[in-house]
């Protein structure tokens, strides 16, 4: 890039079209919860999203199911995130509700229903939404962000807010603001992407019979390995760990990898889209040939983009590390709990998965400080790009955790807005009290109700390698 040709753009006078208390960048799980929380707590809130719908990886990339909300005994993720899951179940129809009513782990995602639920819940909170919009420039005033330059079909304009929430998943806003960050492993390696998809025409009863007759309950591992030996599937993932039945004939798949993809580069995302769709075609032929119940399937939807597991991790006031995970550490400034396992997917077709589970019923704390980026006072970063080491990012990155972190960021933003302070000045005990009062779970604390809430950890065809 040293010898790259450059062009100087003439200066522009841009209109200031929005002046909310809080602006949230990114409409995935993190941003949805952040916007709802900020608005419910009284802050005027604007959520901007690059697509024409909300949901992030769960809708744009078609991740087939929600990762666990529980630690195997009780819900760890509650509040807004759990409420949205239950609203999707209610809105998806009587058959879906009957199938998954008591289930909180690996609940399939009904994508079109979820889009409508997200729209309705964000708008009902009082937050405003601006679709088809990207933030492409950050205006700085010392350690504060003074505005965002946004681009959409209406042109370029400026948002001036008091507080800014980066819920982009890739720390895009933080990076534009000059916040330091890390990417991937020591050699820059990144978890691969997956092009998820939905098929119709499956026969669940026939498939279940095949599983019973062959003992293939371990994600069709023998079937996948046979197809790889025969050249009908590429080397790599040895099983179908991500299969979610939306109905008895409609199935979502999270299967296979596209390697060497940096989700912050348009060129890589372009290559991933093309390679991902080719891989889906290969997998469709495999399913029809090898898996009873899938002989007559038809592809109805592939992801608008490839599913991304890992990009930037900001440098924050505290870096959550693997020792914190393994010791199940709690912090004085906990704003969420996490019990999802460390789930780092292979960086190439010849390497192996890294998976580490916590004991059943156990979790660790997520401190507020890991969302506070170095050098910026009115910016908070929530979701998979918070300050952590790579193993912990492999655990924190899933949607239920993103809901919890987003909710905390939104409540903190509303508090900071009313007090006219930065995020570091937010009184953490009051933030924690508000979160608990609004349904979040921060561990077994005196006076916290619902810790023993009964749940059913259901049986979707998903295990270990979910997202």
What HEC string does the chain produce?
CCCCCCCCCCCCCCCEEECCCEEEECCCHHHHHHHHHHHHCCCCEEEECCCCCCCHHHCCCCCCECCCCECCCCECCCHHHHHHHHHHHHHCCHHHHHHHCCECCCCECCHHHHHHHHHHHHHHHCCEEECCCEEEEEEEECCEEEEEEEEECCEEEEECCCEEEECCCCCHHHHHCCCCEEECCCCCCCCCEECCEEEECCCHHHHHHHHHHHCCCCCCHHHHHHHHHCCCCCCCCCCCCEEEECCCCCEEEECCCECCCCCCCHHHHHHHHHHHHHHHHHHHHHHHHHCCCCCCCEEEEECCCCECCCCEEECECCCECHHHHHCCCCCCCEEEEECCCEEECCCCCCCCCEEECCCCCCCEEEEHHHHCECCCCCEEECCCCCCECHHHHHHHCCHHHHHHHHHHHHHHHHHHHHHCCCHHHCCHHHHHHHHHHCCCCCCCCCCCCCCCCCCECCCCCECCCCC
Residue 459: pLDDT above 60?
no
pLDDT for residue 254: 95
Q: Report, as an integer, the average pLDDT of 213-242.
A: 87
pLDDT for residue 345: 77
pLDDT for residue 455: 44
pLDDT class for 353, splitting at 50, 70, 90? low
Average pLDDT score over the chain: 93
Residue 465: pLDDT above 90?
no
pLDDT for residue 448: 44
pLDDT for residue 467: 53
Q: pTM score, two decimals?
A: 0.94
pLDDT for residue 239: 82
Q: Which of 187-201, 347-361, 362-376, 417-431 has the lowest mean pLDDT?
A: 347-361
pLDDT for residue 1: 62
Quick: pLDDT tens for 69-84.
999 999 999 999 999 9
pLDDT for residue 450: 39
Quick: pLDDT tens for 136-169.
999 999 999 999 999 999 999 999 999 999 999 9
């Amino acid at each position: 890039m040293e010898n790259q040709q450059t062009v100087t753009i003439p200066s522009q006078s841009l209109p200031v079209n929005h002046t909310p208390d809080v602006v949230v960048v990114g409409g995935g799980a993190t941003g949805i919860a952040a916007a709802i929380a900020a608005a419910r707590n009284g802050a005027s809130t604007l959520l901007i999203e690059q697509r024409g719908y909300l949901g992030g990886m769960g809708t744009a990339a078609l991740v087939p199911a929600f990762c666990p909300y529980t630690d195997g005994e009780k819900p760890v993720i509650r509040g807004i995130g759990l409420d949205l899951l239950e609203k999707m179940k209610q809105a998806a129809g009587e058959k879906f509700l009957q199938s998954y009513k008591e289930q909180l782990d690996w609940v399939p995602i009904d994508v079109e229903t979820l889009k409508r639920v997200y729209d309705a819940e964000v708008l009902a909170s009082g937050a405003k939404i601006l679709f088809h919009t990207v933030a492409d420039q950050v205006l700085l005033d010392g350690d504060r962000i003074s505005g965002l330059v946004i681009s959409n079909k209406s042109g370029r304009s400026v948002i001036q807010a008091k507080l800014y929430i980066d819920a982009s998943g890739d720390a895009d806003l933080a990076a534009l603001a000059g916040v330091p960050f890390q990417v991937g492993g020591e050699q820059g390696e990144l978890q691969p992407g997956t092009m998820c998809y939905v098929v119709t025409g499956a026969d669940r009863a026939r498939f279940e019979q095949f599983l019973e007759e062959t003992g293939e309950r371990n994600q069709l591992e023998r079937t996948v390995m046979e197809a790889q030996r025969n050249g009908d599937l590429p080397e790599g993932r040895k099983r179908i760990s991500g299969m979610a039945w939306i109905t008895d004939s409609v199935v979502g798949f999270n299967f296979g990898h596209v390697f060497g993809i940096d989700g912050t580069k348009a060129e890589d995302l372009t290559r991933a889209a093309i390679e991902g769709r080719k891989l889906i075609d290969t997998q469709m032929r495999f399913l029809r040939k090898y898996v009873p119940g899938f002989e007559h399937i038809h592809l109805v939807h592939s992801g608008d983009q490839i599913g991304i597991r890992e990009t930037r991790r900001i440098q924050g006031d505290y870096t959550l590390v693997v020792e914190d995970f393994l010791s199940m550490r709690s912090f004085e400034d906990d704003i969420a709990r996490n019990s999802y396992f460390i789930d780092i997917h292979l960086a190439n077709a010849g390497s192996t998965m890294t998976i580490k589970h916590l004991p059943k019923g156990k979790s660790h704390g997520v401190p507020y400080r890991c969302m506070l980026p170095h050098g910026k006072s009115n910016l908070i970063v929530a979701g998979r790009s918070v300050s952590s080491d790579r193993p912990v990012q492999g655990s924190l990155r899933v949607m239920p955790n993103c809901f919890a972190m987003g909710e905390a960021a939104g409540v903190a933003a509303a508090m900071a807005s009313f007090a006219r302070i930065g995020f570091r000045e937010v009184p953490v005990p009051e933030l924690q009290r508000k979160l608990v009062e609004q349904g979040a779970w921060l561990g077994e604390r005196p006076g916290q109700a619902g810790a023993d809430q009964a749940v059913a950890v259901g049986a979707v065809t998903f295990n270990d390698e979910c997202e």
